[in-house]
């Protein structure tokens, strides 16, 4: 026996959506069958049942109610799945056989449009990738919810693609199946993306060809075609709000690779992977969702054009100088809804009356914003006002049509104002007056029959009826009343007069709702015509929001406007770290000067751990990023160069996904910087070489510094514990030694966080271990070993230290008399331990390294004691 006709229909549709959950509409439920049902029941934690499908074995089945399906769909999308929505597309009453069903929308992580599935302040990108040689790539991405589309060509191989994906909130990527398998694995495992595939057919429908008019490069054209073809075949509805693909010339923006963005914590903190503790957290004082998204995009692509940077800084200066007007602008912006996503919903066809009411209320604020901008003294701010189109015609259309408190549904009526349409007003008049007539009839019948409890009611099954309790049945006028329904304690009746009025009222109600729905669709189509103008307005409003945010945070945090040097030098006076300064709150951040010029373009930083070397390096990079996005910077004075790239190697972390050690990650990131940096780049290298042996590490560190100095000439900050490297200042003309000052007071180290010229004289490693809370016995032992090592290396030891050394050696000696073979073996092991200790370079150890070595030493000693 074969499957039932309905199951055959399901299987036929499912065959076209094998990689998606098929939500198959049956009455008031979306049902899933077979493997879909098993997996959905597990992922959504819903009951798995079964049904008869025509074969001997029952078919696994689960379902979700149609009215609450959105929450279940959201849960699946957040897990990276796709959901195909299959609806009934014909009236079951007129269907011959199985009701016709079709997939009306494919919802994927990169194509969601529903408001509750989107983060207000985050873009949601769908990307496409194409390459013919695995070295040069065409890359395109779009945000369906806003319509923005970008494309770029990447010529630096696969790592540049991964960096670009890392820097964008991309949720799904469309590729051709022939893409290299290792690349596919990276996209899934490293980038955690949902992969979708298209065939090698990239013929676009006519209506989408204009979207690639400005794309001349063949590789980029192909990537855009893959992207738009996927949207056309999956969305099955209007996507007229998509903007033309904008080609991004990467050489016009600073390059921030994935390592730098992570290490500098531009948009997310490393520890918690959240906004708090990032640069974005500090400078985001935007008040609209559009502005928040634009700020994030600006941070991810700092400018390289000095002219464009200064234009932004001019506008920030304008907002900075006039506090009262800026605060008025902020208040007005708070009332602006997300015009970008409202435009997308209008085009997509899922906009409701409340959305259009939000649009109307937003547009009502635009004239006041335009007027406020004209009140600023700076011409660049007035120029922004001149570009604003308040869209008065659209605002008037919505003003006269949309009700002030409409329902969410657009099929229940009461979404349009009285007076908008004459025919609708007539239906409403009949409906309202008819109901008044019903109320009057009820009063009249009570008087005529003398039945005080008589009432006229309504339900969808029987319509209008007169209800009389059993105690009053003897008063019913049987010549006029016709029995309609018998209840336990009452009877229900109808009269000819009530029948006629019921027909008029119900017809008016039904026609009113249908007409109102059709009128709303016409209004929506009229609003569609304004989408390009709305998108342009949204772009301007978001830009104004970001600029006022820069001005607001600059005033609150005492930032200053930077200037840019033609000589490509950096001169920061009392520079501060914007994030740490904010986190410290009441504590005072210690500022420092930073000077890099053509003569001294490389700084070698020495000093103890925890003293602020990494902070000093990061604050320079963050200051540069802030300046090149157009924000004021945390310093007393700031003269900066425009940097084309920032490379960082800060912090040690194994790449567990790739199985690479800390040292390998160090070398890969250093290699990336060496191969791509120019003389206009900034390189930050923190303790390169610490992941291997001392001499290997020192040799590599020196070679890297010499190579950057002699072959690249990039501005470089290099921190190290290898004090021997400080002698390079004598041989490398562009290098200057600086150190972070610390003092030892009453046996305790005090970090002053002050940068001074010259090399550090001590490492203070054991003091740092003490601050970290290591056991005192361990600290005492480390001090003893350090003294022994200093003695053997010929360094001066005070008489007091010699006394301590002698005393402790007597108490902790490892030697015993050689009275047996086992004693000789122990003696040999002791000699080995001493030789091992002599090789230790305590000055270059981190506290954790020291603890690990002492732990190994302790195990060896315990083993020897057991043999004694």
- Domain hosting 509: range is 422-525
Structure tokens at 712: 């690249």
How many Cβ atoms sit within 10 Å of the Cβ of residue 73?
22
DSSP notation for 108-157: -TTT---GGGS-TTS--EEEEEEESSSSSEEEEEEETTT--EEEEEE-S-
Supply the pTM of this predicted model. 0.81
Is 199 part of a structural domain of the chain? yes
- Give the CATH number for residue 595: 3.40.50.300
Is 405 part of a structural domain of the chain? no
Distance from C-alpha of 156 to C-alpha of 311, rounded to nearest angstrom: 31
pLDDT score at 33: 96
Strands lying side by side in the sheet with 255-256: 255-256, 645-649, 682-686, 715-719, 602-606, 735-745, 748-757
Same domain, 182 and 88: no
- Choose among 201, 127, 115: nearest CA to 164: 127
Alpha carbon 240 to its chain's center: 25
Same domain, 579 and 722: yes
Measured between alpha carbons, how far apart are the two ends of the chain, in Å? 84
Distance from C-alpha of 564 to C-alpha of 306, rounded to nearest angstrom: 8
Same domain, 213 and 239: yes
Same domain, 44 and 186: no
Distance from C-alpha of 532 to C-alpha of 148, rounded to nearest angstrom: 11
pLDDT score at 796: 44
Is 17 part of a structural domain of the chain? yes
Same domain, 81 and 152: no
Weakly modelled stretches of the chain, pLDDT under 70: 1, 200-202, 586, 651-662, 691-694, 744-749, 761-768, 771-772, 786, 789-827, 839, 841-852, 855, 858-859, 861-868
Is 799 part of a structural domain of the chain? yes
- Choose among 340, 335, 277: nearest CA to 118: 340
- Measured in degrees and rounded to the nearest 5, phi and psi for residue 138 equal -95, 130
Number of H helices, E strands in the chain: 27, 27
Same domain, 346 and 484: no
Same domain, 653 and 694: yes
pLDDT score at 435: 82
Same domain, 688 and 590: yes
Same domain, 580 and 695: yes
Class of residue 75 by CB neighbours under 10 A (exposed 0-12, middle 13-18, buried 19+): middle
Q: Which of 64, 85, 107 marks a domain boundary?
A: 107
In the three-class reduction of DSSP (H, G, I as helix; E, B as strand; rest coil), residue 721 is classed as coil
Return the bridge partners of 464, or none.
Answer: 458
pLDDT score at 12: 95
Task: Give the ranges where 450-495 is alpha helix by DSSP (H).
Answer: none
Q: Which of 706, 723, 757 marks a domain boundary?
A: 757
CB 132 within 8 A of CB 120: no
Task: Extract the annotated binding site for ATP.
Answer: 607-614
Domain count, the chain: 6
Is 267 part of a structural domain of the chain? no
Q: Which of 88, 107, 126 marks a domain boundary?
A: 107
Task: Give, in order, the Cα–Cα distances in Å from 299 to each of 127, 330, 631, 644.
Answer: 20, 21, 10, 14
Radius of gyration of the chain (CA): 37
Is 568 part of a structural domain of the chain? yes
Q: Can you state the angle between helices 339-348 and 496-528, rounded to 10 degrees?
A: 120
- Measured in degrees and rounded to the nearest 5, phi and psi for residue 792 equal -65, -30
Same domain, 606 and 735: yes
Is 67 part of a structural domain of the chain? yes
pLDDT score at 846: 62
Same domain, 138 and 81: no
In the three-class reduction of DSSP (H, G, I as helix; E, B as strand; rest coil), residue 194 is classed as strand
Same domain, 552 and 590: no
Task: Extract the annotated binding site.
Answer: 607-614
Is 432 part of a structural domain of the chain? yes
């Amino acid at each position: 026996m074969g499957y039932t006709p309905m199951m055959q229909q399901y299987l036929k549709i499912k065959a076209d959506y094998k990689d998606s959950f098929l939500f198959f509409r049956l009455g008031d439920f979306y049902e899933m069958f077979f493997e879909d049902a098993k997996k959905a029941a597990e992922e959504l934690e819903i009951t798995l049942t079964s049904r008869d499908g025509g074969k001997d074995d029952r078919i696994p089945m689960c379902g979700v109610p149609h009215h609450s399906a959105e929450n279940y769909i959201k849960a699946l999308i957040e897990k990276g799945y796709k959901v195909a929505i299959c609806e009934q597309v014909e009236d079951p009453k007129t269907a011959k056989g199985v009701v016709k069903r079709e997939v009306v929308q494919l919802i994927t992580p990169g194509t969601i449009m529903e408001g509750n599935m989107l983060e207000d302040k985050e873009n949601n990108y769908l990307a496409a990738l194409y390459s013919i040689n695995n070295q040069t790539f065409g890359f395109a991405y779009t945000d369906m919810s806003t319509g923005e589309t970008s494309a770029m060509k990447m010529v630096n191989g696969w790592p540049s693609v991964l960096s670009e994906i890392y820097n964008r909130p991309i949720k799904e990527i469309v590729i051709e199946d022939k893409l290299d398998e290792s690349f596919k694995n990276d996209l899934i495992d490293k980038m955690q993306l949902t992969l979708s595939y298209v065939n090698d057919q990239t013929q676009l429908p006519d209506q989408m060809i204009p979207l690639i008019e400005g794309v001349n490069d063949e590789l980029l054209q192909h990537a855009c075609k893959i992207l738009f073809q996927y949207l056309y075949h999956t969305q099955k509805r209007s996507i007229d709000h998509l903007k033309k693909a904008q080609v991004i010339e990467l050489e016009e923006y600073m390059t921030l690779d994935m390592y730098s963005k992570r290490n500098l914590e531009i948009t997310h903190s490393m520890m918690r992977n959240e906004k708090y503790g990032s640069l974005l957290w500090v400078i985001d004082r935007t008040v609209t969702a559009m502005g928040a998204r634009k700020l994030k995009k600006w941070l991810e692509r700092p400018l390289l054009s000095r002219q464009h940077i200064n234009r932004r800084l001019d506008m920030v200066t304008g907002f900075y100088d006039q506090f009262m007007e800026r605060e008025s602008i902020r208040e007005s912006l708070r009332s602006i809804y997300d015009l970008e996503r409202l435009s997308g919903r209008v085009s997509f066809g899922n906009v409701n009356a409340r959305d259009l009411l939000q649009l109307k209320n937003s547009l009502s604020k635009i004239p006041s914003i335009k007027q406020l901008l004209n009140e600023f003294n700076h011409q660049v701010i007035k120029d922004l006002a001149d570009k604003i189109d308040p869209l008065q015609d659209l605002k008037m259309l919505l003003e006269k049509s949309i009700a002030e408190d409409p329902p969410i549904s657009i099929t229940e009526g009461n979404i349009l104002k009285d007076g908008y349409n004459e025919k609708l007003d007539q239906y409403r008049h009949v409906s309202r007056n008819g109901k008044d007539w019903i109320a009057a009839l009820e009063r009249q019948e009570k008087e005529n029959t003398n039945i005080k409890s008589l009432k006229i009611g309504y339900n969808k099954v029987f319509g209008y009826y007169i209800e009389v309790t059993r105690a009053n049945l003897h008063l019913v006028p049987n010549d006029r009343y016709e029995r309609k329904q018998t209840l336990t304690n009452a009877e229900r009746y109808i009269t000819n007069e009530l029948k006629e009025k019921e027909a008029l009222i119900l017809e008016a109600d039904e026609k009113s709702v249908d007409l109102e729905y059709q009128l709303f669709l016409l209004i929506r189509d009229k609003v569609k015509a304004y989408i390009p103008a709305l998108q342009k307005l949204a772009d301007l409003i978001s830009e104004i929001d970001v600029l006022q945010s820069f001005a607001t945070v600059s005033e609150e945090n005492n930032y200053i406007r930077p200037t840019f040097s033609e000589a490509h030098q950096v001169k920061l006076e009392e520079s501060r770290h914007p994030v740490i300064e904010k986190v410290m709150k009441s504590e005072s951040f210690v500022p420092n000067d930073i000077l890099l010029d053509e003569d001294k373009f490389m700084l070698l930083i020495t000093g103890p751990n925890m003293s602020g070397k990494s902070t000093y390096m990061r604050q320079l990079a963050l200051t540069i990023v802030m300046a090149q996005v157009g924000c004021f910077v945390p310093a007393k004075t700031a003269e900066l160069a425009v940097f084309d790239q920032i490379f960082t190697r800060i912090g040690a972390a194994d790449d567990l996904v790739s199985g690479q050690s800390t040292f390998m990650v160090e070398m890969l990131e250093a290699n990336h910087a060496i191969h791509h940096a120019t003389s206009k780049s900034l390189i930050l290298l923190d303790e390169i070489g610490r992941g291997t042996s001392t001499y290997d590490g020192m040799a590599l560190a020196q070679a890297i510094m010499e190579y950057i100095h002699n072959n690249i000439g990039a501005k470089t900050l290099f921190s190290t514990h290898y004090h021997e490297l400080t002698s390079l200042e004598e041989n490398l003309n562009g290098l200057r030694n600086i150190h972070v000052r610390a003092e030892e007071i009453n046996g305790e180290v005090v970090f002053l966080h002050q940068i001074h010229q010259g090399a550090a004289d001590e490492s203070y490693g054991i003091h740092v271990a003490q601050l970290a809370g290591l056991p005192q016995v361990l600290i005492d032992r480390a001090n003893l070993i350090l003294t022994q090592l200093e003695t053997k290396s010929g360094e001066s030891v005070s008489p007091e230290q010699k006394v301590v050394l002698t005393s402790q050696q007597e108490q902790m000696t490892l030697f015993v008399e050689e009275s047996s073979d086992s004693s000789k073996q122990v003696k040999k092991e002791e000699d080995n331990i001493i030789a091992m200790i002599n090789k230790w370079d305590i000055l270059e150890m981190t506290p954790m390294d020291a603890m690990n070595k002492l732990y190994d030493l302790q195990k060896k000693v315990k083993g020897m004691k057991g043999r004694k």
